[in-house]
Structure formats: structure tokens, C-alpha cells
Amino acid sequence: MRILFLWALMLLTLMGCSREPELPSPSSAVQLEQGQPLVSSLPLIGLTEVYASPEKFYDQQVILQGRVYRVCKKDGCWVELVDSQQQRAIRVSFYENGFSVPTNTKGYDIKAQGYLVYASGEHQPDSKNSDLHYHNGDYSLELFFIANGVTLELDEPVAF
């Protein structure tokens, strides 16, 4: 009887060890929210709409969606969004540096809530990337986005 019990115990132990661990499904996304919560009633726009007529969205709060193309490697204090065709990009700064994102979020989808702003000055995009900036014939005028909140769609949790 004792031998039978030991065999049963050993069999159960081996069966338990041979099971594959359950992994989360690849389609399940993790949302990382930073700053203010996004307001679902705000207009959701993409870079194509922004660059088609930026004046339409100027001085009103919107949610801008895109993919993270670049991120501040020092402390995640800004990101650059790119559209799905990687034709247009925009720098997104975080309002009063009130929050940051992980520095390894390049390639992830993002929604940023905030305002489009024009910045004039002496900054001139280099010729290689000049198509990434709104200039409308005037290189002294660029379009930026100031975000008061962001939501990143991640495959897995990322550390800061």
C-alpha cells in the first residue's frame, strides 16, 4: 500500500512538472498611463489630419495618436510620434515636465492628450529629415504638441 502511494505521488509530481507554464496571450496589451487621465470625449486625431490642416486643431485640446518613433534616452521627458506610413512626425513634450515615459518605448502605440503649438525660432530641420516637420514653406515655424497625459499600449510591462 505504501509503495502504491509513493508511485501515485511520484506520478502526480511528474505530471505537474511537465505542464507548460501559461503565458499571457500576445494580443493582450498593457496600458501605461502617465499624467492626467485621457478624456474620451476629446477629438481623436492622427498626424495626417494634423499636417493637412494644423490650424483646425490649434488652441484646442485633442488626443493625438501615433507610434513612438524616438524617445528621450536620458529620462523619457519627450517622445516623437510618427504616422503609420512614417511620413510625418511630431515632437511631444510633457507639460511642465510633470511626467515621463520609459526610455525603451520606441515602436509602441501612444495616445497623447494636449495642445498643438507653433514654435518659431532659428531651429531649422536638417535636409534629411525636413519632411518630418511642418514648415509650410517657412522653416522658422514648427509644429509641436504639449501633452498633459499619455497612454502607451505595451506588449508587456516596462520598467522606468
For 41-72, the pLDDT digits (tens) are 999 999 989 988 888 998 899 999 999 999 99
Which pLDDT does position 154 carry in this prediction? 86
For 13-31, the pLDDT digits (tens) are 655 554 444 434 445 678 9
Considering only residues 143 and 122, tell me which one the structure prediction assigns the higher pLDDT. Answer: 143
The secondary element (H helix, E strand) that includes residue 73 is: none
**Mean pLDDT value across residues 88-115:** 93
CATH topology of domain 28-154: OB fold (Dihydrolipoamide Acetyltransferase, E2P) (2.40.50)
Residues paired with 160 in a beta bridge? none
Residues 6+ apart with CB under 8 A from 52: none
Residue 43: closest CA among 138, 116, 104, 118: 116
Q: Are the CB atoms for 138 and 120 separated by under 8 Å? A: no
Threshold 0.75, pTM exceeds:
no
Least confident residue range of 13-22, 48-57, 82-91, 114-123: 13-22
Which pLDDT does position 118 carry in this prediction? 78
Give CA–CA dist 159/149, Å, rounded. 18
Q: Are the CB atoms for 76 and 129 separated by under 8 Å? A: no
Could you tell me the residue ranges of all domains in the chain? 28-154
Q: Where is mean pLDDT largest: 69-73, 133-137, 142-146?
A: 69-73
Q: Are the CB atoms for 148 and 26 separated by under 8 Å? A: no
Give CA–CA dist 115/148, Å, rounded. 9
Share of the chain above pLDDT 70, in %: 68
Phi, psi angles (nearest 5°) of residue 89 = -140, 160
